Amino acid sequence: MSHSVHSLLLIAAMAAVTFFTRALPFLLFDHGKEPPQIVLRLSRTLPSAIMAMLVVYCLRELTFAAPGGWVPALTACLLVVALQWWKNNDLLSILGGTACYMALLHWFG
């Protein structure tokens, strides 16, 4: 089998599996039937748990051996939380936090 055909097969497999994982809940629970209580409860509480999980996942590369490994990211995170808490402006919080992070990276770099 040629190299290109094999590459195409791998890409098709990745596309199919990715779509399958995204479609699964719709295939199981979207036919007019009310999903079971346990599923409803999960859909109410899981989003906040997952959002916290994704924040930690984004910060997975932090290291604590030197200040440069954690101060920029954690400081920027605190700024984002503070801005969002008091000002409630998504864009301001994100731009402010990112600018702070880039400046601190430069400073510690």
Q: Using CB under 8 A, list all residues that contact other proteins.
A: 3, 6-7, 9-11, 13-26, 29-30, 35, 37-39, 41-61, 72-73, 76-77, 80-81, 84-85, 90-91, 93-95, 97-98, 101-102, 105-106, 109
* Surface-to-core class of residue 21, CB atoms within 10 Å of its CB (0-12 exposed, 13-18 middle, 19+ buried): exposed
Measured distance CA(51)–CA(76) in Å, rounded: 17
CB of 74 to other proteins, least distance (A): 11
CB of 50 to other proteins, least distance (A): 6
CA pseudo-torsion sign 35, 37, 41, 46: negative
CB of 43 to other proteins, least distance (A): 4
